[in-house]
Amino acid sequence: MVKKKTCIFISGSGTNLKNLILRSRDNTFPINISLIITDNREAYGIKYAKKYKIPFLFINTKQRNFENDILFNLKKYEISFICLAGYMKIISNSLIQKYKNKIINIHPSLLPKFKGLNTYSRMLRNKEVKAGCTVHYVDKKLDNGNSILKKMFFINEKDNEKTLKQRTQKLEYQAYPEAIIKIFKNN
């Protein structure tokens, strides 16, 4: 199996990144993480990049031509697939066009419900019965692309924002690798 050279975009703790790195070490997993891009110099996920000796790059998104830096490095590392894992910036239309149907994201809700931020507090305010995560393709609209895979659980009366996040992340660690396998099994 020829693994797809993949870039993971992160902004924070990198727990999904770590999970994908560990999964990618398996010869049967379809991606090889060849580059990590972050918009946050302090992102904890950088520690995983260093630990597993994966090239990483800080991109200052306040800089005018930051998009050119991203595209240059994606080309330099021969990236053919992109996973967003807690990346807190909107992906530009030009990047989406260049990597059409090759950028995926994981979102901590059962899309199309609760797109965007503050997902858990909005779920609780709304008295939702179910929570979960969605792996989806990235398109021009926020958290809007076609769904690849969803996983869900029932919210109970003891849940709060912290427990919802913990329970959702547990599902994300299963869902993201499953979605990647599903994508490349169908290609």
136 is catalytic: no
Asked whether the CA dihedral 10, 13, 19, 22 is positive or negative, the reply is positive
Between CA 39 and CA 10 the distance in angstroms is 7
Instruction: Identify the active-site residue in 23, 107, 151, 167.
Output: 107
- Give start and end residues of each alpha helix (H) in 91-160: 93-98, 119-125
CB 52 within 8 A of CB 21: yes
Please state whether beta strands 81-84 and 103-107 pair in parallel, antiparallel, or not at all (unpaired).
parallel
Active site residues: 107
